Structure 1
Amino acid sequence: MPFLRLAGNAGLTFFSRLSSGYWNISDPTNGFTAISADAVQILPLHKIHERYFFESDLLFRLNIFGALVIDQPMEAIYGEEKSNLSITHSMLTFPLLHLRNFTKRVIYNYLLRNFDVASLSLLAGLLLLTFGLAFGISEWIESWRTGTPATPGTVMLSVTPVLVGFQLLLSFLHYDISKNPNQTMNARASSLTVLQKRIVKTSPDQD
């Protein structure tokens, strides 16, 4: 694989993992894709990107439904053919699309559908990091404008929230990496059916 393509795929792999939540998947834009009929039925096909961002957007949609995704490695062989993918266009559009999907995934999975320790780590980390940076920048500007050095207390009041907030965001990221879906759509549907049958059996009869 050419070095430029290898470097580009490495970057796309990281952004795709971040936006989709499938941290075990490498280079989704290269190779073949197979999907079960059960997964296709629940996907909003009209919302999935139709061009080169298709695979990454598909992974994001699958993660929202908790679908199991498996990466089957394959050897990439390149001949003299040229890719129709515009590097400039991809560098300008792909990061924004990944940021959009990442934001949606975090809101869906950690704020709307579930709220746990990871959600608290994310919110507290963002608040502390934002406060520390905003306070530190404002105090630095004030110190530069007046020519008065900042006191140690002021420095610590800026640095401490940044360090703690960054650590909380790392904790959230570690939790997100370890939270890969591990059941197929068939298994999830079967478990739900069994649970529904148990609820019906244990519920009292109504007159």
Structure 2
Amino acid sequence: MYRQSTVAVVIPAYNEEELIQDTLSGIPSYVDRVYVVNDGSKDGTEERVQEFSSRDPRFVYIRHETNKGVGAAIVTGYSRSFADKMDITAVMAGDNQMDPRELPKLLDPIVNGEADYAKGHRLESRTTAKGMSDFRYLGNNILTFLTRFAAGNNKINDPQNGYTAISNHVFKKMSPGSIFTWYGYCNDMLVKLSTYGFKIKDVVIPARYGRERSKIAYPKYIIRISRLLFNELIWRLNYQNMSKSARKANSVMVIGGGMSSMSFTVATLSLITPLSIMGTPKPAESPVGMLIVLSLVGLGMAYLGFVLKRGGKIGMEGKKV
């Protein structure tokens, strides 16, 4: 437990037999649960993890029979953490690239209520990006610009950084199952979190490179993520337009419902109030007929608002990435 909050760490692993035990041995003692998701590895990753987990009950081993993608492995861990009612879930790669001593920097903004999602930021300067190749540094800056544009959030930095922590209350609104399952999961997360109004905080954490070998072909990766971000942009714009329509529909429903209720109530009172109190109005002067008409108009407005709102929901469901 960290500052009265339970903490889980998700570690996606694909063919990480060389470094997975180094990663696991560095997990801080305050972490309550560690979900190691073996994403269909074909090497000795499973044996290494099971050997380690047999000595520490905090470690939960989960296996995907086939390689589903790093995003899918993280989704599996998120879902398990949410089901186990953890407060915060962090993500660390299985190749020991993320320094566990830096984890409190990601947890503190969430515990303090400053953020719903905190993530590492290596691009603050060339010093914090030490060890990152010039091509990779340029590519990450390009993807930063594209992700900001897709998310409508110009405060996002280093979107490809996978060292993150999230408050599990986020999953009450955003299902883990809606997250993209391959390497663009981090961009997808940032677009969705920004669109849904969650607070995102970048935390400067220097890059740490060692014996790990990247499995990413960067030219193809940048093209693929750019295409994903274009689709995310379309989804965000549609979602926001549908949200505006839903707000208008709510207004129509409230006004119509209020008009109908008031008119119906006054009309009913007019009919049941003793004539000695109300007087005996002439038929042409009686307000009851007009009130009934207003009540029907109000019901019509409420129904119209319901139809508009329902149509908006259907549209939003159909447009999600």
Query: What TM-score comes out, normalization by structure 2 length?
Result: 0.34
| Partner of residue 71, structure 1 | 202
1:22 to 138, 146, 153: 153
| Partner of residue 170, structure 2 | 39
Query: Aligned partners of 1:26 and 1:9: how far apart in 2?
Result: 9
2:141 matches 1:4: no
Report SS of the residue matched to 2:171: helix
What are structure 2's unaligned runs of at least 5 residues? 1-131, 246-261, 266-321
Using the TM superposition, give the Cα deviation of residue 7 of structure 1 relative to its aligned residue in structure 2, in angstroms.
Answer: 0.5
| Partner of residue 298, structure 2 | none
Query: Aligned partners of 2:149 and 2:220: how far apart in 1?
Result: 20
Query: What TM-score comes out, normalization by structure 1 length?
Result: 0.51
Q: Residue deviations 1:108-128, cap 9 Å, x none?
A: 22x22238xxxxxxxxxxxxx
| Partner of residue 230, structure 2 | 99
Task: Name which structure has the greater RCO, CA cutoff 8 Å, separation 6+.
Answer: 1
2:209 matches 1:83: no
Percent pairwise identity: 28
Q: Cα 1:19–1:57, aligned 2, differ >3 Å: closer, same or farther?
A: same
| Partner of residue 108, structure 1 | 239
- Structure 2 letter corresponding to 1:72: V
Report SS of the residue matched to 1:77: coil
- Structure 1 letter corresponding to 2:208: I
Query: Aligned partners of 2:161 and 2:229: how far apart in 1?
Result: 17
2:179 matches 1:48: yes
Query: Aligned partners of 1:37 and 1:80: how far apart in 2?
Result: 32
Report SS of the residue matched to 2:203: coil
Kept in 2, the 8 Å contact 1:31–1:74? The answer is: no
Using the TM superposition, give the Cα deviation of residue 33 of structure 1 relative to its aligned residue in structure 2, in angstroms.
Answer: 1.0
Kept in 2, the 8 Å contact 1:19–1:105? The answer is: yes
Using the TM superposition, give the Cα deviation of residue 74 of structure 1 relative to its aligned residue in structure 2, in angstroms.
Answer: 1.0
Query: Aligned partners of 1:96 and 1:26: how far apart in 2?
Result: 19
Using the TM superposition, give the Cα deviation of residue 38 of structure 1 relative to its aligned residue in structure 2, in angstroms.
Answer: 1.0
Using the TM superposition, give the Cα deviation of residue 24 of structure 1 relative to its aligned residue in structure 2, in angstroms.
Answer: 0.8
Q: Residue deviations 1:30-86, cap 9 Å, x none?
A: 241111111022113222112211111011121232111111111113235321112
Kept in 1, the 8 Å contact 2:195–2:236? The answer is: yes
Using the TM superposition, give the Cα deviation of residue 93 of structure 1 relative to its aligned residue in structure 2, in angstroms.
Answer: 1.4
Kept in 2, the 8 Å contact 1:20–1:59? The answer is: yes
Kept in 1, the 8 Å contact 2:144–2:157? The answer is: yes
Q: Which of 29-38 and 10-19 deviates more?
A: 29-38
Query: Aligned partners of 1:93 and 1:99: how far apart in 2?
Result: 10
| Greater share of residues in strand | 2
Larger radius of gyration: 2
Runs of 4+ with >3 A deviation: none
Report SS of the residue matched to 1:114: helix
Q: How does 1:183-198 map to 2 (within 5 A)?
A: none
Aligned residues: 117
